Amino acid sequence: MISEQLLYSLAGIGLFAIGLRATLLHHMLLPRLLALNVCGAGVFLIFIAIAYAGVENMADPVPQALVLTGIVVAVSATAMALALGRRLEALKDE
């Protein structure tokens, strides 16, 4: 039986690959942003899996701190892309 850590790491790598493929295939803003967020979720899952050290032990805090920062960055970048997209739509209507 494979360990939980490996399972989560592989899931993370899978998500990353799916997101990467979709990012490269889509040219519309919204699907692309969703794909980038899936891609990011994959990377964060890999970090979480790295931090895991068994049920009895405390998880490594460094990767978890990194994930928190990563999520903040991803949220702000997504928000900015959406704001730019809205502004572009508004300019198209004028």
Partner 1 sequence: MSDAIIWVIMIPLLGSLISLTWSRYASFIAITSNMLALAASIIIVRQVYQSGPFIHQLGSWQTGLGISLRADALSSILLVMSMSVISAATFYASTYFTDAVKRARFWPLWLMLVVALNALLLSGDLFNLYVTLELLGLSAIALTALSDNRAALQAAIRYLSIGLLGSLVFLAGVALVYTGYGTLDLATLSNVVQASPLSQVAFGLMTAGLLIKSALFPLHFWLPSAHASAPAPVSAALSALVVKVAVYILLRLWIDVFDPVLTPFSAMLLGMLGAIAVIWGSWQALQAQRLKLMAAYSTVAQIGYLFIFLPLIVALPDGPLKDAAYTALLLMALTHGFAKSAFFLSAGVIQQYCGHDRIAELGGTARALPLTIFVIALSGVALIGLPPSGSFLGKWHLISSSLHAGQWWWVPVIAAGSILATAYVFRILGHAFAPGEGVDQVLKWGREEIPALILALLATLILGFGSAGLWDFVSQHNGFPGG
State the residues that interact with partner 1 by CB under 8 A.
16, 20, 23, 29, 32-33, 36, 39-40, 42-43, 46-47, 50, 62-63, 66, 69-70, 73-74, 76-77, 80-81, 84-85, 87-88, 91-92
Shortest distance (Å) from residue 1 CB to partner 1: 21
Q: How many residues does the chain have?
A: 94
C-alpha angle 43/49/50, rounded to 5°? 90
What residue type is 83 in one-letter code? A
Of the pair 56, 90, the CB lying nearest partner 1 is at 90
Tokens 């490996």 belong to 6
**Identity of the residue, 1 or 66, whose beta carbon is nearer to partner 1 in the bound complex:** 66
**Which single residue is written with the structure tokens 């964060």?**
44
